[in-house]
Structure 1
Amino acid sequence: MQKSNIETCTNIVDVRRNIDSIDKELVALIAKRGAYVKQAAQFKATTAEVEAPKRVDQVIEKVTSIALAEGANICVIEAVWRSMISAFIEAEKEEFAKITST
């Protein structure tokens, strides 16, 4: 992990302040990712294309490689991404259903 951009905290308040700041950034990025997922639904022809298991595997492979390079806990990264992808697939299925029902 690149420690140069990690503040050395002297108390729990500092730790929580930094975590809260990161959470704000993460939520903004997840919202941005969600907007692209919503757009993706218009380019799919079937629900199977929405589920795209091969793409899921590619994304998991990519993020675990990034995690390794960044010194992140690979198990945590994979679990978070699998959960996030699952939720986004459900959201994309809903969007796909709206698009294809009109």
Structure 2
Amino acid sequence: MAVNCESLEHVREQIDGLDRQIISLLAERGVYVSQAARFKKDSNAVRAPQRVEQVINKVRGLADELGANPEVAEAVYRAMIAGFIQQELAEHSALTR
């Protein structure tokens, strides 16, 4: 839960703590992305544009529900998904050699 900060330094401390949590969650998500590569037959299955849109729609709904900006959530997720697709394509390629 967000706290009422008394200074810019306090705001930055809170953001730094959140960044640590976010990066930890990105690392965990990356482990699952790596596992997913084993189950996909080809690079089209890795890219999965229909799945990307499902995730984006879900995230926008969660943003609305939780009081986040849906536009920001979508932009962040599109960038994150693009990065993870590149990771998964590399891992999938290595698995199929």
TM > 0.5: yes
CA distance in 1, matches of 2:31, 2:46: 15
1:90 paired to 2:92 = no
Aligned AA for 2:59?
V
Output aligned runs, 1:1-102, within 5 Å. 5-101=1-97
More relative contact order, 1 or 2 (CA 8 Å, 6+ apart): 1
CA distance in 2, matches of 1:64, 1:91: 24
CA RMSD across the alignment: 0.4
Deviation at 1:21, TM superposition (A): 0.2
With the length of structure 1 as denominator, give the TM-score of the two structures: 0.94
Secondary structure of the corresponding residue to residue 43 of structure 1: coil
Deviation at 1:78, TM superposition (A): 0.2
Moved over 2 A (4+): none
Structure 2 runs not aligned, ≥5 long:
none
CA distance in 2, matches of 1:18, 1:46: 42
With the length of structure 2 as denominator, give the TM-score of the two structures: 0.99
Identity %: 44
